[in-house]
Amino acid sequence: MLLARIFPFFFIILFPNTAVLKENTKKLWPTLLEKNNFVLIRHSLAPGFGDPSYFKLTDCSTQRNLSNQGKIQSKKIGLIFKKNKIKKAYIYSSQWCRCLETANLMKLGEIKELPLLNSFFGKFNQRNTYINRLKNWLIKNNKKMPLVLVTHQVTITGLTGYFPNSGEIVFVNIGPKNNFKVYGTIKTD
């Protein structure tokens, strides 16, 4: 029974959506100034898988954190935004240290912690609850532009069906039926 509930998740991991636009990324940036468009960013490179069993949200030393390469990648993400004329943004981040550090190193403005972006990796049976709450928040708050959300792979995949790399910028549109569609990505590794 448990396998039946988690199998779709592993199917997404093994066979991610590859039909995402990879064409001219210059065309993606102006879309962030349009209503219903935003970006999700998977935190930069933090080697490992999941977090240790002694993980504490308020103690970064108990978490998987950014490597030196991940810190450089985070700065690069910020430079990519600035190069494309996005010098400030509304930035929300998961409360995990690797997400907050990614957002801080991007230097695009004030960062607000948003628990709705937290990982549910260890609580996969609560996936629908997490994703539905995030969808509702996004539908109500999509007027803030450009909107940047720094989060985890499980959150991005749960919301969009797309499996991002570390530090990947995922452009998302909220459609007329409140469906969430990836319309472009930029890999930063």
State residue 70's pLDDT score.
98
The predicted pLDDT at position 11 comes to: 40
As averages over each run of 10 residues, the pLDDT of the chain (189 residues) reads 42 41 76 94 91 86 95 98 94 97 97 94 78 94 86 96 97 95 95
Q: Is residue 2 part of a domain?
A: no
Cβ atoms of residues 92 and 150 within 8 Å = yes
In-domain check, residue 131: yes
The pLDDT of residue 164: 97
Which residues constitute the domain of residue 29?
21-48+57-186
* CA within 13 Å, CB half, 132: 4
**Residue 52 vs residues 4, 48, 137, 181: alpha-carbon distances, Å:** 26, 10, 29, 33
**What local confidence, expressed as pLDDT, does residue 168 receive?**
98
Q: Provide the number of structural domains found in the chain.
A: 1
pLDDT at 128: 85
Question: pLDDT digit string (tens) for 48-100?
Answer: 887 778 889 899 999 999 999 999 999 999 999 999 999 999 999 999 999 99
Residue at 4 is within a domain = no
Give pLDDT, residue 56: 92
What is the reported pLDDT for 124? 63
The answer to whether residue 140 is domain-embedded is yes
CATH number of residue 44's parent domain: 3.40.50.1240
